[in-house]
Homo-oligomer: A and B are copies of this chain.
């Protein structure tokens, strides 16, 4: 074996061993021998559907940035490594979305497509459902500032849109080095939630909305030395991701000044705490709108409790949780959540999800 093959065999061995041990399975030695000969022969090996499924769950369990890991075992893993065209993948994604949304009672799902061998797929979008952003003549931005560059790319591919603040981008799928194909999602699978505040009807004029399903589609899943570069996954949203970061961040929708204006607040001085008040209004708005729509969403207090429960279970199993404090602690009211007062080692274990360079 070359050094590359040996390195792969080592990673494969580590993962396969963990899979057999954690699940109390028989036949580890035979399986490792088989994997070894595959690697010696083909410089790669095949993960079984069961191995893939367990590997994806472990990748979630090992995600140092994720506060939602209590539910790692419940991940639904869709093995779709045999699909061979962009169109098939798009159609399969529609199924993924419908199944995962589950009429509002969201289930965590990952779909794994081929990204090695003769059919190598990449989804260009950051998330399957996400809003476009348009740079205006006066340098202002309509929509999501974080999408301006990708929106331009979609337009160059021939996509056109209404130009509103909440246009859902098309799904862009590339096979090998071919020109990518783009597909418009049907309205019924965009899962838009209009945002209304129970006490402030004047905020309706802002015409805000957000989508129910955060499907990350640009990360690399690594299991036992194998890369899955096209493996979109989702859980449900944590309140602060939408209300505090996406809607509140200055470099995103930057809505706090607009909320303040509609509610007649004095924003001339920091000490009026208008930003703190604005966050609260945005959170109330998102929470009550998701609730009215009957869509799963977790607040940061509950998510923190669930994460600490996860830590406790892991510790009972003799496993040390790895976590990145600065990602786990919610972006507001941090010190009122239990996670603020904890520390974790922050090593990156395998399997895991990694950033990868965009193809565009």
**Residues of chain B with a CB closer than 8 A to A86's CB:** none
Q: Specify the main secondary structure of chain A where it touches its partner.
A: helix
User: Binary interface profile of A, 315-355, with partner B (CB < 8 Å = 1, else 0)?
Assistant: 00000000001100101111110001100000000000000
User: Binary interface profile of A, 232-255, with partner B (CB < 8 Å = 1, else 0)?
Assistant: 000000000000110011010000
Nearest-CB distance from A249 to chain B (Å)?
6
Q: Which of B256, B301, B335, B341 contacts A332 (CB 8 A)?
A: B335
* A276-B283 in contact (CB<8A): yes
* A334-B332 in contact (CB<8A): yes
Interface size band for A: 20 to 34
Nearest-CB distance from A259 to chain B (Å)?
12
Nearest-CB distance from A174 to chain B (Å)?
31
Nearest-CB distance from A205 to chain B (Å)?
23
Binds B, one of A4-12, A188-196, A267-275: A267-275
Q: Is A277 an interface residue (CB 8 A)?
A: yes
Task: Report the Cα distance A287→B271, complex, angstroms.
Answer: 8
* A283-B287 in contact (CB<8A): no
* A333-B276 in contact (CB<8A): yes
A239, closest chain B residue (CB): B271
Nearest-CB distance from A263 to chain B (Å)?
14
Nearest-CB distance from A305 to chain B (Å)?
8
**Residues of chain B with a CB closer than 8 A to A331's CB:** 334-335, 340
* B287-A273 in contact (CB<8A): yes
* A256-B336 in contact (CB<8A): yes
Task: Report the Cα distance A276→B279, complex, angstroms.
Answer: 9
* A335-B302 in contact (CB<8A): no
Copies of this chain, tallied across the complex: 2
**Residues of chain B with a CB closer than 8 A to A256's CB:** 336
Q: Is A266 an interface residue (CB 8 A)?
A: no
* A332-B276 in contact (CB<8A): yes
User: Binary interface profile of A, 279-313, with partner B (CB < 8 Å = 1, else 0)?
Assistant: 11001100100010000000101100100000000
- The answer to whether A275 and B333 touch (CB under 8 A), given A270-B302, A302-B270, A326-B325, is yes
**Residues of chain B with a CB closer than 8 A to A248's CB:** 335-336
Nearest-CB distance from A199 to chain B (Å)?
13
- The answer to whether A273 and B277 touch (CB under 8 A), given A256-B336, A335-B245, A336-B256, is no
Nearest-CB distance from A340 to chain B (Å)?
7
Task: Report the Cα distance A256→B199, complex, angstroms.
Answer: 23
The 7 A-B pairs with the shortest beta carbon distances in the complex, nearest first, are: A331-B335, A270-B301, A275-B336, A270-B302, A276-B333, A271-B299, A270-B299
A-B contact pairs, 25 of them (CB 8 A): A248-B336, A249-B335, A251-B341, A270-B301, A270-B302, A271-B299, A271-B302, A273-B280, A273-B284, A273-B287, A276-B279, A276-B332, A276-B333, A276-B336, A277-B280, A278-B336, A279-B333, A279-B336, A280-B280, A325-B326, A326-B329, A329-B334, A331-B335, A332-B333, A334-B334
